[in-house]
Amino acid sequence: MKLHVTRRGLLLTYVTLFFIYLEGPLAVIVLSSFNSGQIVRFPPEGFSLKWYGALMDLVRNAPDMKPELLNAVYTSLWLGVASTIGAVIAGTLGAYALQRAKIPGTNILRQLFLLPLLFPQIVTGIGLVLWFSAVGGVPTWMRLLLGHLIISLPCVVVTVTASLETLDRSLEDAAMNLGANRVKTFLFITLPSIQGGVLAGAIFAWLTSFSNFTVTYFLFSGEMNPFPLWLYQYIEYYIDPGAAALATCVLLITLSVLLMINRLQALGRVVAVSK
């Protein structure tokens, strides 16, 4: 019994330390956004909400600020959604093809698929810039979309491949035996069985796109200025706790997206069962 308690205590301590380390940087930002002093610092020198107020004022009063912020959020949103849709479709099919192809070298191909995830993004960014300028005439929205697709595709490939590995192949055989051709088997049996992996991939893809700075930095233009870049430019000008307040708001948005997806997933399960 005693042993049991101490083991439990150890486990709890470990998990706590783990989380403090992982979430620490975020906590620092959130805490310093409530600072009552004049500069960003940690630990904060007292509690106040004044930087949130200042942020509101700034957005409201600075003539260029409001449209620029809205534009940045809007750009990031459509970019995230579009590249996620593209990544989910292409990534799922790609992972499926890679897993089922009876050709030698699929292992190497799979590693190549993951390269953009492991490679310094700055290299991807430079490569894209060089390529786009060589081709010429590619509009900014397409540059951004193609760039974000490259970095969000591997997210989907990774999660869908993992799901496919655990998929019971005899389910697909059974479907074919019952008269479903390959397309129907994929739609009615394979896809529902790997939907967890697809959804997880979609979330990762969206978050990757929404928060990406490095690749985006090489591709953006004045009128299409995704949110992370706008945030960076803001901090360059105003190094005050307002930036921390802004970052906290972003954090809240991201968290609520995650929560929403979580709820949707639970909802989906309820709907599926009640059907």
Partner 1 sequence: MKPPSQESTQAGKKPVLELKDISKAFGQMNAVERVSLEVWPGEFVSLLGPSGCGKTTTLRMIAGFIAPTEGRIILGGNDITNVPAYRRDVGLLFQSYALFPHMTVRGNVGFGPKMRGEKSGAVAEKVRWALSLVKLEGFEDRRPNELSGGQQQRVAIARVLASGASMLLLDEAFSNLDAKLRGRMQEEVRELQLRLGIATVLVTHDQEEALAMSDRIVIMNGGKVEQIGTPKQVYSSPESLFVADFMGRCNRIEGQLTHDGAKGWFLDCGPAGMIRFEAPPHPEARPGEHCRVFMRPEHLTLSQRTGDHGQGLRGEVERLVYLGSRSVAYVILDGGIPFQVHLPNTPGSKDEFPINGVVAVVPQPGAVTLLPD
- Which residues sit at the interface with partner 1, rule CB under 8 A? 168, 170-171, 173-182, 184-185, 188-189, 192-193, 272
Q: Which residues pair with 35 in a beta bridge?
A: 47
Q: Which is nearer to partner 1, 190 or 225 (CB)?
A: 190
Q: Which is nearer to partner 1, 45 or 173 (CB)?
A: 173
3-state helix, strand, coil in the chain (%, to 5): 80, 0, 20
Which residues are CB-neighbours of 74 under 8 A, at least 6 positions away?
none
* Minimum gap (Å) between residue 171 Cβ and partner 1: 5
Helix ranges restricted to H, 101-120: 106-118
Nearest to 205 by CA among 31, 85, 59: 85
* Minimum gap (Å) between residue 264 Cβ and partner 1: 17
Q: Which is nearer to partner 1, 134 or 272 (CB)?
A: 272
Q: Which is nearer to partner 1, 174 or 255 (CB)?
A: 174
CB atoms within 10 A of CB 116: 19
Q: Which residues pair with 47 in a beta bridge?
A: 35
* Minimum gap (Å) between residue 203 Cβ and partner 1: 20
* Minimum gap (Å) between residue 217 Cβ and partner 1: 43
d(CA 14, CA 22): 12
* Minimum gap (Å) between residue 32 Cβ and partner 1: 47
Q: Which is nearer to partner 1, 104 or 120 (CB)?
A: 104
